[in-house]
Amino acid sequence: MILDDFLVRAALGGTGVALAAAPLGCFVVWRRMAYFGDATAHAAILGVALSLVLSTSLFAGVLTVSLLMALAVSVLSGRGYAMDTLLGVMAHSALAFGLVAVSFVSGVRIDLMGYLVGDILAVSRTDLAIIWGGALLVLALLAYRWSALLTATLNPDLAHAAGLDPKREQLVLTLCLAMVVAVAIKVVGVLLIAALLIIPAATARPFSRTPERMALVAAAIGILSANGGLAAAYRLDTPTGPTIVCLATLLFLAASLVGHHRGRAAASRAPSPR
C-alpha cells in the first residue's frame, strides 16, 4: 500500500494542514489576530495533558481546550484589559500549566518535543484521517460563511446593516481556529502552528488583488512550504516542523523583496507632477 510509506503519509498530512490553515490564516492576517492564534495554540499542550489523564482521544482533548481558550479570550476581551496583554497572559499561562500538567502524567511515555515542534514523520493512517477530516470540515465551514465572514471582517457596521452578527462570525472563526490547532499539532507542534497560519497568508498578500485569490495563493504557498520543508529536513537531517516554517519564512522574504521591487518600479513609471 502506498500509505505504508511514512514520507507519503507525512506529505499528505502536511498538505492537509496547509489547505486548512491557508484560508483561515488570511482572516487571521486581515483581523490582526496573530496573537489570538498563538494563545489558542499554546493551550493545546494543556489539552494533550488532559487527554492523557482522562484516556481520551488526543484530538478531542486538544480541540476542547483550544476552543475553550479561544472562547475565553473572546469573552474577556474589552473588559478592562488590552487585548495584547490579555492574550499574552493567557498564552503563556496555558503553556506553563500544560507543561506542568504533563509532568504529572505517570505510566505514559510522552514525547514532549514532538508536541512542541511537531513530529510529521510519525503521522499514522489514523492521524491522516483526523487531519483531512478536520481540514475538509474547516474548508466547508469557511466556504459556507465566506461572504458573511468577509463582510464582518472588512466592515462590522455594514455587516449589521446586512443583518449579520459579527460576533457570530467571530465564533465561526474561533471554531475553525481550534480545529486547525487540533489537526496541526502532529505536523508542526504548538509552538509553530501560528507561524503556519500567518506566514503563507502574509506571503500571498503582495500577489493578490482579491480575498479569494489571496486564499488560493496562500494555500499554494502553504503546500509548497510543507512539502519542500519535509524534503529539506529529510536531506539535511533537521527537525521537520521548524524546517517547514523556515522555508515558509524564506518564501515570505522573497515575496517581500519582489513586492518592494514592484512598488519602486511602479513609482518610477508614474508620471511626475507638473
- Predicted pLDDT of residue 49: 80
Domain total in the chain: 1
Is the distance from CB of 120 to CB of 67 less than 8 angstroms? no
pLDDT classification of 107: cutoffs 50, 70, 90: low
197 inside domain: no
- pLDDT above 60 for 56: yes
- Predicted pLDDT of residue 266: 60
User: What backbone torsions phi and psi does residue 80 show, to the nearest 5 degrees?
Assistant: 100, -5
Choice between 105 and 139, residue whose per-residue pLDDT is larger:
139
Is the distance from CB of 214 to CB of 205 less than 8 angstroms? yes
- Cell reading at 233: 529536513
- Cell reading at 170: 467571530
Task: Average the pLDDT over 216-240 and give the result.
Answer: 91
- Predicted pLDDT of residue 268: 64
- Predicted pLDDT of residue 110: 64
93 inside domain: yes
Q: What distance, in Å, lies between the first and last C-alpha atoms of the chain?
A: 71
- Predicted pLDDT of residue 85: 75
Burial class (CB within 10 angstroms; exposed 0-12, middle 13-18, buried 19+) of 264: exposed
Of all residues in the chain, what percent carry a pLDDT higher than 90? Answer: 18
- Predicted pLDDT of residue 30: 87
85 inside domain: yes
258 inside domain: no
| Rg of the chain (C-alpha set) | 19
14 inside domain: yes
| Cβ partners under 8 Å of residue 125, min gap 6 | 3, 9
Q: Give per-residue pLDDT as tens, 74-100.
A: 777 656 566 667 777 877 887 788 778
DSSP designation for 116: H
Is the distance from CB of 48 to CB of 62 less than 8 angstroms? yes
CATH label of the domain that carries residue 71: 1.10.3470.10
Q: Give per-residue pLDDT as tens, 242-274.
A: 899 999 999 999 988 887 666 666 656 656 555
C-alpha distances (whole Å) from 30 to each of 26, 82, 104, 223 are 6, 19, 40, 21
227 inside domain: no
The H or E element spanning position 73 is helix 58-76
Of 59-68, 169-178, 230-239, give the range with the top mean pLDDT: 230-239
Least confident of 7-16, 50-59, 72-81: 72-81
C-alpha distances (whole Å) from 178 to each of 70, 225, 256 are 7, 22, 29
C-alpha distances (whole Å) from 233 to each of 4, 62, 230, 246 are 20, 26, 5, 10
Q: Give per-residue pLDDT as tens, 191-226.
A: 788 888 899 999 998 888 888 999 999 999 999 999
Measured between alpha carbons, how far is 207 from 139 in angstroms, rounded to an integer? 22
26 inside domain: yes
Measured between alpha carbons, how far is 107 from 66 in angstroms, rounded to an integer? 25
CA nearest neighbour of 62 among 75, 49, 48, 74: 48
Least confident of 8-17, 98-107, 143-152, 247-256: 98-107
Q: Determine the structural domain holding residue 107 and report its residue range.
A: 2-191
The reported pTM is 0.83
232 inside domain: no
Q: What burial letters (b/e) apply to 248-259, b meaning 16+ CB within 10 Å? A: beebbeebeeee
Of all residues in the chain, what percent carry a pLDDT higher than 70? Answer: 87
User: If you write DSSP's letter for every residue of 175-196 in order, what string do you get?
Assistant: HHHHHHHHHHTTTT-TTTHHHH
- pLDDT above 90 for 140: yes
Measured between alpha carbons, how far is 130 from 139 in angstroms, rounded to an integer? 14
